[in-house]
Amino acid sequence: MKRLLFVAILLGLLAGPVLADDAAPAPRIGVVLGGGGARGFAHLGVLQELDRLGIPISCIAGTSAGALIGGIYASGQPLDKLEATFAHTDWDQLTSGKPRREDVPFSRKREDVRNYLDLSVGIEDGKLKLPRGALNSQAVDLYIRYLTQGIPAGDFDRLPIPFRAVATDLANGDAVVFDKGDLATALRASMAVPGVFDAVEVDGRLLVDGLLARNLPVSDIKGRCADVVIAVDVGEPLKKTEDIRSWLDVLTQSLNFGVSRNVAEQKKLLGPDDILITPALGDTPVTAFADSPRIVAAGRAAARAQAAQLARYAADPAVYQLWKASLSQATPGRIESVKVDAPAGRSRRLLEDKLAVPAAGQTQSAFLANLQDVFAEGDYDRLAYRVEGENGERAVVTPQPRATGPDLLRFGVSMEGASNGDATFAVLASHRRTWVNEAGATWFNEARIGESLYFGSELYQPLDPTSPFFFAGGFRVSKDAFSLYTPEHDRRADLSLRDSRVSLSSGVALGRYGEWRLGLFRGQVDTGLRVGDPGEFPSASYRLGGVETRLTIDQVDNPRWPRNGYAVRVEAQRALPDWSSKDYEQLVSYDTGFDYVHTTGADLTWRLTGKARGSTQEGANIASLGGFLNLSGYQNDELLGQRVALARLMGYWRVASLPFALGTGVYVGASAELGRVWNGLWDGKDSEWLPAASAFVGADTLFGPLFLGVGNGRGGRWTAYFYLGADY
């Protein structure tokens, strides 16, 4: 009613001059916002300048990023609030295709400390299954829901500003124009980049990014709801031959051919009274989301450069203020009930229980947070929802099971080398099967093939699907290689250490934070000589079994290249005489560590790390130091003893972003390290505290953390290092 009153007054003011002066009515101004990924932030700057000039907008049409910004503004979101939201959004996290790691239950993220690729592959009927999108879109979906404030489905002509969004039908390539329905779904479909994000299914059609069909949708409003069109083109220009240097450039250029042609066709529809604005974005990549303030400013500058032309369509200040007052976004209602749109069964019942709304109702923000927590458990590819009811008081959730199924495979690589010629390479693999039984059991398997070998398997059984208490049983076999060095850094011998054991434990899951376990283990350790004098280094075998406990807390945002968070690990073992060889009956061993990571506003990250490992018995469970970031200047595991400790402070500054297909960022940094060895293997003496340092260039890449560095330490020597995906 309030909006209708505003419109009536506005029409009266606009009609007044017509009756008095017999002048032509003011033209209806339509705005067209094209697609362009992060370059689309320029649309916000253009809209801000139109607002400053006092130009009322009759309707908006948008594609991809243009649909997102146009649709949010059309729904009544103030431009200054939208700019602040974009500036404070963690775009790396939002476009990572993963929930915040801090929110993921520990049982789902415990293998993340290995260097696996982010891509998970499923198995079904003996065949591999790949997801339809390289990145999961759940975070983007919920972000759009947050921006639209849960507006109920309806006619887009009834929004504060009538709106159209354009997507592409993946079956035939036709443009699909949204003029009604669920606003958030329309925006999500319009920006579903093919192959990157999953297609959106609407009324039986699979829809992807509208840029493939109509990236600058002039025809959808020209002559319909608009007499004059202000079109904003933020698309990437075609590259010159000399600028096409990589496969990514070739792929981008191929896609841009078709896009540029459909944009050119739409530009032909612009008349002499229409205005085309092309912000000067240069080679700004479509993935530069973190650069939103600069891109918004470029949009403002482009509109100001054409202010004289735009000013022709400015309304009387009083009229414009009335129009602007009609744009208020509806206050989101409270969610009072949740319906799960899925077949009846165990999965639906569990989901209904987890999403149950308190008797007093729930705010949209609280419901979104709960939905994200449930998604982080990893059982679904997507938890889409829409709101129904006059005030959006009912949420309908549509779960989309994992396309890859309950069996997930992950792969990775690890490479490391040093200037002295040492180099290693390993292939990593893991398998996880969820919902082995009705109680929610998970079967884990991991393998490493390289100079060091590993295979482990464990069945993790909670008491029931919602219980924090669990039992776990499994086995592992590992074979590690050690080189023995003299104090002069000369290699003296190469040893192998084979450790086989079975274990049974019980514990309590601490939700997203970690877990605590207590259990029994039993196994055998065999040492052998690979290179060296058998008389000096005899082989040995011994049995070892006893009680073990482990507490793990993990709230690091990215274990491969952390920027914020903390982690604590405390593990201890006590041998039992009946299960252990004579010389090891009283053995107590421990392995502990902590990490604290914080990134400042200047994109400078500080990481403080501490490690300690050892045993109460000489010659058992040899502990080691040495290698890049673990006393740089020494070889890997060069310093051996009964006990070791290391303290390290790293600082690294993000200097550039990587395309999301290649990773996240490029860094320069340095480390200061301090380590000590007790009861050294060679002389039986305790070392002094040994300082070391390194400097490096690194990147968080698709294949894991990449380091190129140089380091030295007291008693060591200058050494250059190359690390890819190594556990540092």
Summarize pLDDT for 157-199 with one digit per residue, the tens. 999 999 999 999 999 999 999 999 989 999 999 999 887 888 8
Q: Does domain 29-97+138-325 have CATH number 2.60.40.1150?
A: no
3-class SS string, 373-424: HHHHCCCEEEEEEEEECCCCCEEEEEEEECCCCCEEEEEEEEEEEECCCCEE
> Is 589 considered catalytic here?
no
Residues 660-676 have pLDDT tens digits of: 667 788 999 999 999 99
DSSP letter for each residue of 664-676: EEEEEEEEEEEEE
Examine the pLDDT at 270 and tell me if it is beyond 90.
Answer: yes
- Residues 20-25 have a mean pLDDT of 54
Residues 425-460 have pLDDT tens digits of: 899 999 999 999 989 999 999 999 998 899 999 999
> Is 64 considered catalytic here?
yes
Lowest mean pLDDT, pick from 9-23, 43-57, 398-412, 598-612: 9-23
Q: What does the block give as tokens for 711?
A: 């380091």
Amino acid making up residue 301: A
Helix (H) or strand (E) holding 499, with range, is strand 491-509
**Residue 638 or 126, more confident:** 638
The domain segmentation of the chain, as residue ranges, is 29-97+138-325, 334-401, 407-724
Could you tell me what percent of the chain has a pLDDT over 90? 51
What confidence category does residue 395 fall into, taking pLDDT thresholds of 50, 70 and 90? Answer: confident
Lowest mean pLDDT, pick from 262-266, 480-484, 724-728: 724-728
Examine the pLDDT at 22 and tell me if it is beyond 70.
Answer: no
Helix (H) or strand (E) holding 12, with range, is helix 2-21
The pLDDT score that the predictor gives to residue 443 is 96
User: Whole-model pTM?
Assistant: 0.81
Tell me, rounded to whole angstroms, the distance of Cα 173 from its chain centroid: 30
What is d(CA 717, CA 544) in angstroms, rounded to the nearest whole number? Answer: 38
Residue 220 phi/psi, 5-degree rounding, is: -80, -10
In this structure, CATH architecture of domain 407-724: Beta Barrel (2.40)
Catalytic residue selected from 58, 64, 96, 615: 64
Burial of 445: CB neighbours in 10 Å, binned 0-12, 13-18, 19+: middle
The pLDDT score that the predictor gives to residue 236 is 85
Residue 229 phi/psi, 5-degree rounding, is: -115, 130
Strands (DSSP E) contained in 14-136 are 29-33, 59-63, 121-124, 127-129
Lowest mean pLDDT, pick from 7-16, 83-92, 107-116, 498-507: 7-16
The pLDDT score that the predictor gives to residue 13 is 38
**Residue 628 or 257, more confident:** 628
Burial of 165: CB neighbours in 10 Å, binned 0-12, 13-18, 19+: buried
Q: Does domain 334-401 have CATH number 3.30.450.20?
A: no
User: Regarding beta strands 719-724 and 407-418, do their DSSP bridges make them parallel or antiparallel, or are they unpaired?
Assistant: antiparallel
Catalytic residue selected from 92, 182, 198, 209: 209
Torsion of the alpha carbons at 10, 14, 20 and 23, rounded to the nearest 10 = -170
Examine the pLDDT at 26 and tell me if it is beyond 50.
Answer: yes
Q: What does the block give as tokens for 137?
A: 């879109």
The pLDDT score that the predictor gives to residue 564 is 94
Helix (H) or strand (E) holding 354, with range, is helix 346-354
**Phi-psi region at 555: left, alpha or beta (left = phi > 0; alpha = psi -120 to 50):** alpha
